[in-house]
Amino acid sequence: MSIYHYWGKSRQGEPDGGDDYHLLCWHSLDVAAVGYWMVINNIYFIDHYLKKLGLQDKEQAAQFFAWILCWHDIGKFAHSFQQLYRHEALNAFNEPARHYEKIAHTTLGYVLWNSWLSECPELFPPSSLSVRKSKRVMALWMPVTTGHHGRPPEAIQELDHFRQQDKDAARDFLLRIKALFPLITLPEAWDEDEGIDQFQQLSWFISAAVVLADWVGSASRYFPRTAEKMPVDIYWQQALTKAQTAITLFPSAANVSAFTGIETLFPFIQHPTPLQQKALELDINVDGAQLFILEDVTGAGKTEAALILAHRLMAAGKAQGLYFGLPTMATANAMFERMANTWLALYQPDSRPSLILAHSARRLMDRFNQS
């Protein structure tokens, strides 16, 4: 079955946005193109994370992230998904509807990897690793890309949602697009204990970037639905051009203000407490992650000391923002009130940072609703 007989997005009542449907292969490349430019521009630090995993060359990292994003919607090759929308040019048009257990296409993609595509080494990037080890490394990445709706896919056994022609079409698509990314590879370090540990630490951040790439790559405003057949390399160039405009959806990173002293955040503090003075003097010029534990009596200015330290770290380029983990909604509300008077001082005047209250009852707080 041709890859051009599978839809990825449909009109769904939209009066505008292109053709009646968007081919699955084109949607996959749209998302990949967004991911490519996210790395090139280090949007939400995705290039930084990939560098930590050993992809030091930015172009190579961008190609790898784009390639792995091409896998994100492979679950949509399932017949159970394809029959949800019918068009005379698509593969499910003349077939009677079948009943399938309702399973998300994210999980279906992971099932397709485990049951079929993992046995197709021709789809793997070049590597000095053996096929067995390459498969093991690929297995690390599959939940990250197929679980692109905010949660990992379920690990379930193979089902009958894919016909053989659906599996063949998915394989054919992945084989065709592989040539678009000549620099991709699987580093040996990804199969070593240290590399696996590093990947597991960063996988949630990378997964978040996958979600964002899919969100922007799904915007018909930038990627009109296209049912036309064409060579994948031709469409890839078109997608790259569209994606370069689409990434303007992402807000610019807020620029951190210089730390010039305690008065930057707290002009009302004339004499720092001993704890606050310690926060001003602590050595932060070490490589890697740092852990600071501040403990003192009530009234010692612990929150202010923590913010002083956080601002110093941010101004030194070691962080872009901060969050508070608090035990109750009430304490979170109280901290939001306190931060509402301070947070903008962490950033330069022309920046537009966000202050978010992240609990389920935040809409009950007037200050948050007004922000």
The per-residue pLDDT for range 95-112, each reduced to its tens digit, is: 777 878 888 889 999 999
Overall number of domains in the chain: 2
Residues 28 and 112 in one domain: yes
> Which tokens belong to 289?
């992650």
Averaged over 210-236, what is the pLDDT? 96
Count of C-beta atoms within a 10 Å radius of residue 4: 19
Give the residue from 33, 35, 40, 44 showing the smallest Cα distance to 59: 40
What is the reported pTM?
A: 0.84
pLDDT for position 155: 79
Count of C-beta atoms within a 10 Å radius of residue 359: 14
| Residue 255 located in a structural domain | no
Whether residue 278 is predicted with pLDDT greater than 90 in this model: the reply is yes
Residues 230 and 272 in one domain: no
Residues ≥6 apart with Cβ < 8 Å to 363: 369
Residues 243 and 270 in one domain: no
Which domain does 300 fall in, by range? 262-370
Give the residue from 64, 74, 62, 69 showing the smallest Cα distance to 29: 69
DSSP structure class, residue 255: P
Better-scored residue on pLDDT, 204 or 252 = 204
Q: In CATH, what number is assigned to the domain containing residue 140? A: 1.10.3210.30
> Which tokens belong to 64?
């790898």
Count of C-beta atoms within a 10 Å radius of residue 205: 14
Name the packing angle between helices 24-40 and 164-178 (round to 10°).
40
pLDDT for position 128: 96
| Residue 257 located in a structural domain | no
Residues 341 and 228 in one domain: no
pLDDT for position 92: 60
Residues 83 and 196 in one domain: yes
Last residue of a domain, one of 197, 215, 249: 249
Whether residue 121 is predicted with pLDDT greater than 90 in this model: the reply is yes
Residues 281 and 190 in one domain: no
> Do 361 and 271 contact (CB within 8 A), yes or no?
no
Lowest mean pLDDT among 12-21, 25-34, 314-323: 12-21
pLDDT for position 1: 59
| Residue 72 located in a structural domain | yes
Residues 349 and 241 in one domain: no
Radius of gyration of the chain (CA): 24
Count of C-beta atoms within a 10 Å radius of residue 53: 19
pLDDT for position 93: 60
